Amino acid sequence: MKKWSGNANHPKKGTRITVDPIRKIKDIKAISNMTENNPRDHLLFIMGINNGLRAGDLVRLKVKDVGYLKIGDTLTIKESKTGKNNILVINKTVYKALKNYLDSQRPNNSSYLFASRKGNGHLQSQAISKLVKKWTSAINLKGNYGAHSLRKTWGYMQRTQHGVGFEIICKRYNHSSPAVTMRYLGIEDKEVHGVLMNEIG
């Protein structure tokens, strides 16, 4: 029997598939730099880590939905999983990646923003997971990564770099409670230990 020699970041058979966020700024910058020569993939990565939306919702966007948006603009979308409304926000980083993609590729207005190279459809979650695994593997990042890593990275960075509370992140994720958000982002034991080392009194 031929041995599987695929990506080391793929979970073992029978284990629960829980993907990790990208936890370090340097790793985010490395992937950002690495994907710059592919405007579509770069935009997917940047938009994913800057919005906290599911990748499955991002890929359903069409060029005409976002082509006119400027910095600070928002677009209301309906989440495919929950049926609830949420918003896509264009910050400076997203705008730069979006403009670069539209200017360099000049996609048809009616085509999907993240078009698949197979047929006329958009990228599927499985293809996005493969891309994320490829990126993380290329920079030797240990852990399990997939499509949801982009969404999780947004929440993790908002919390650790910008001090945003779980209540606000919970609202953004459309989770039922902050406790769900805490589990989703995967609080590590060493982080809890670090909090307990804070001296009071």
All structural domains of the chain with their residue ranges: 25-196
Superfamily of structural domain 25-196: Intergrase catalytic core (1.10.443.10)
Q: Tell me how far apart the alpha carbons of residues 176 and 170 are, in angstroms, rounded to a whole number.
A: 7
Per-residue pLDDT of 25-71, as tens digits, reads: 999 999 999 999 999 999 999 999 999 999 999 999 999 999 999 99
Catalytically active residues, by annotation? 54, 81, 148, 151, 175, 184
* Tally: H helices and E strands in the chain: 10, 2
Positions of E strands within the chain: 74-78, 85-89
Please provide the average confidence, as pLDDT, over all residues in the chain: 87
pLDDT at 19 over 90: yes
Q: Is 76 helix (H, G, I), strand (E, B) or coil?
A: strand
Higher per-residue pLDDT: 111 or 188: 111
Q: Name the pTM for this structure.
A: 0.83
Which residues, other chains included, contact 116 with Cβ-Cβ below 8 Å and sequence gap of 6+?
122, 123, 124, 127
Residue 120 pLDDT class (50, 70, 90 cuts): confident
Spatial separation of the C-alpha atoms in residues 102 and 2, rounded to whole Å: 43
The 10s digit of each residue's pLDDT in 133-164 is: 999 999 999 999 999 999 999 999 999 899 89
Residue 189 has pLDDT above 60, yes or no: no
Measured CA angle at 77 (ends 75, 79), to 5 deg: 150
